[in-house]
Amino acid sequence: MNKLETFEQYFATSTGSINIPSMILALFLAALLSYILGKLYIKYGSCLSNRAKFAGNFMILTTTTTLIISVVKSSLALSLGLVGALSIIRFRAAIKEPEELAFLFLTIAIGLGFGANQFLITIIAFVIISFLIILRHWSKKKSVENNMNLTINSKKSDKVTLKNISFVLNRYCTSVNLKRFESSNEIIEASFFVTFDSFNDLERVKKDLEDLSKTININYLERE
């Protein structure tokens, strides 16, 4: 028997059996932890997008990752096949903020841990990371001022520019932080973290922005 035949035989016989009870437990724990993670993201996340809708994907992503790892770890051939399959798959979801990507990595990590039957270390790591998420939220300084998320979108024009919008905000806000900015040939959209000293300043901002364009839309959301 030459080396090639030995190698082929190894691939043919390298498939191991899957422990069904262990796999069911892994899927259950993955679903449970991803559900908890979704609640943490909704409550303590800082993204301006629909956090509840985005968190709804966590359970599917985590359990799917668990299933894939549980199957491919039993066979070297399947593992190599997975590498080939992933080379033709492209992740095309729009990730607008780094926090979204961080939570996606965490859901995948949970699935990898349970898929590899590393139950204890995965649970311990999840508890520690969850504690850090909560600690990060509560460690932020709470201000007595009026903190808000301000989103502005409008049809693009000579007057509706990021420079003009920032000029209006800086006139009446005590602090202005640009969170997101998107521009195309037709529309412009910008999101800010702003602080007002009074409600009257908020009204002045609204009036001056509307003077730039009648098509401008302004959304205020209280910042947690």
pLDDT of the residue at 143: 45
Bridge partners of 190, per DSSP, are 152, 181
Q: C-alpha angle with apex 158: 154 to 164, nearest 5 degrees?
A: 75
Residue bearing tokens 């993201």: 41
* Helix/strand/coil for 187: strand
pLDDT of the residue at 173: 84
Type of residue at 117: N
pLDDT of the residue at 158: 78
Host H or E run for residue 26: helix 20-44
pLDDT along the chain (224 residues), means of 10: 53 62 91 94 77 87 88 65 53 66 90 90 94 82 62 83 86 85 84 80 83 82 62
* Burial of 99 per CB tally in 10 Å (0-12, 13-18, 19+): middle
Which domains does the chain carry?
18-139 (no CATH), 146-222 (3.30.70.260)
pLDDT of the residue at 77: 56
This prediction has a pTM of: 0.57
pLDDT of the residue at 30: 94
The tokens for 146 are: 């009026």
| CB contact at 8 A, 115 and 73 | yes
Question: What is the rounded distance in angstroms from the CA atom of residue 40 to the CA atom of residue 36?
Answer: 6
| CB contact at 8 A, 223 and 143 | no
| CB contact at 8 A, 102 and 40 | no
